[in-house]
Amino acid sequence: MKKKQILMIIALFIASLNLRPAINSIAPMLETIRDSLGMSASIASLLTSIPVLCMGLFAPVAIKFSGKWGIERVLGWSLFIIGVGTILRFFTDSVSFLLITAFIAGIGIAFVGPLLPGFIKRHFPQHVPSMISVYTVALTLGAALSSSLIVPMQNSMNSWQNALGVWAVIAFVAVLFWWLFVMRHMKPQNQPTSIITKAKMPWTNKKAWLLTMTFGLMAMLFYSITAWLPQIIHGLGYSKSYAASALTIFVIVQIPVSLVLPILLRKLPSRRLWLMISAVLQLVGLLMLAFSIVPWVATVFIGVGAGGLFSLNLLLPLDATNNPQEAAAWSAMTQSAGYVIGATGPLILGWIHDATNSFSTSIVGLIVINIMMMVVQIAATSLKRKQQSGEINPNHGIS
C-alpha cells in the first residue's frame, strides 16, 4: 500500500472517531442534564433524535454539495462543523441552546456519514470491506470513549457542559489531519469534481428501498438503545453505576466485532447469514433484558448483534453498486430515509416512559422491531446485486 493511502487511512480513522461523541456523551449524563435544565424525558430524547434526524434530512444535501465542491473538501468542512457544534456546549445554559448544539453537530455528522463510504469506494476499491472495518472500528471507538469517559470527566471538571464540550478537540484534530493527509495530496483538477456528479439517489429502485428499510429499523434499535439503555437497566432495579457501565459494554463489544467481521466475510461471504446471526444475537439480548436476566450479559449480546448489523448495513449499498458515484448515492439514500426512521426510536421510548413511567413496554416494542428487521433483511438479501470487478465479491452466498 502506498504512503498516500496509508495517510488517507489515518485521516479516515480520525475523521470516523467524530461520528458518535456528540451523541453518545449525552446518555450517561442524561439524568444530570435533565435535573440541571429541568427537561422531561421526551425533550431529553431530542438530544439523541435531533442528530440522527439530521443524518437523515441532510444526507441528500451532502450529495449535492459534494457534486459542487468535491467529496474530500465537503468532508473536511463537515468535520469543522461537528467541532463547532460540540465546542458550543461549553456555553450551554438552557434547553434550547443545548438542542441547537445537537442540531449543528448533527449537520456535520449528516454530511460525513454518507460521504465516507463513497470516499472509501473511490480511494480503496480493492479493500472496501477492510476500510469499512477501519471506519466502523473508529466510529465505535469514538462512541466507547465518549460514553465511558464522560462521567469521570464531568466529575473532574465539576461541569457537565465542559465534559460535553471538550470532545470538540477530536473534531479539530481531525480537520488538521484531513487537510494534511487528504487535501494536500489531491490533484487540483480533482478537487472541484465530486465522485457523485452524475449519480442520483435511487428513489425508484426496489432493492434500494429494502436496504433503506433494513438500515432504518437497525438505526431505530441502535439509537433507542444508545439513548435509553442505562435508564432501562436502572428501571429494572439495578444501581446507576451498573446501568451506566452497561452502555460502555454495549459500545466496547462492537469494536472486536468490527475487526473480526471482514475475516468472517472472507470465510463465508453471505451477507444474509451474518445479518441473521447478528439480528438473532441482538434479539436474545433484548429477551434477556425483558426478563431481567443478568443485564450486563444481555448487553453483550445486544452489542455484538448491533456491531455486526451496523457494519453490514454500511456495506450493503457498496455491494449493490458498481462505482463510487453509485455507492455514495445509494449510501446517501439508505442513510437519509433510514436515519429519519431511526430518529423516531428514542422519541417513542421517551414518550412511552413519560406516559407509563416505565420502560417495560418499550423493551417489548424493541423486540417486535427486531423481528420486523429480520424479515426485511431476508427480503433485501434475496435480490442479487450487480457483480463488481476488482473487489472482494461478497455475493457468492448472499441469498
Q: What is the pLDDT of residues 318-341, one digit of tens each?
A: 888 877 778 778 888 898 888 889
Q: How far apart are CA 40 and CA 61, in angstroms?
A: 32
Helix (H, G, I), strand (E, B) or coil at 40: coil
State the chain's mean pLDDT as an integer: 86
Residues 86-105, mean pLDDT to the nearest whole number: 95
Q: How many residues does the chain have?
A: 399
Whether the per-residue pLDDT at 112 is higher than 60: the answer is yes
103-117, 218-232, 383-397, range with the lowest pLDDT: 383-397
Supply the pLDDT for residue 80.
97
195 vs 128: which has the higher pLDDT:
128
- Report whether CATH 3.30.70.600 matches the domain 3-397: no
HSE-CB of 292 using CA atoms within 13 angstroms:
10
pLDDT of residue 394: 38
Percent of the chain whose pLDDT exceeds 90: 45
Q: What is the pTM (predicted TM-score) of this model?
A: 0.77
What does the DSSP 8-state code read for residue 183? G
Whether pLDDT at 124 is above 70: yes
pLDDT of residue 300: 97
CA distances from 174 to 16, 24, 105, 197 (A): 9, 18, 14, 26
Q: Are 29 and 48 in contact (CB under 8 A)?
A: no
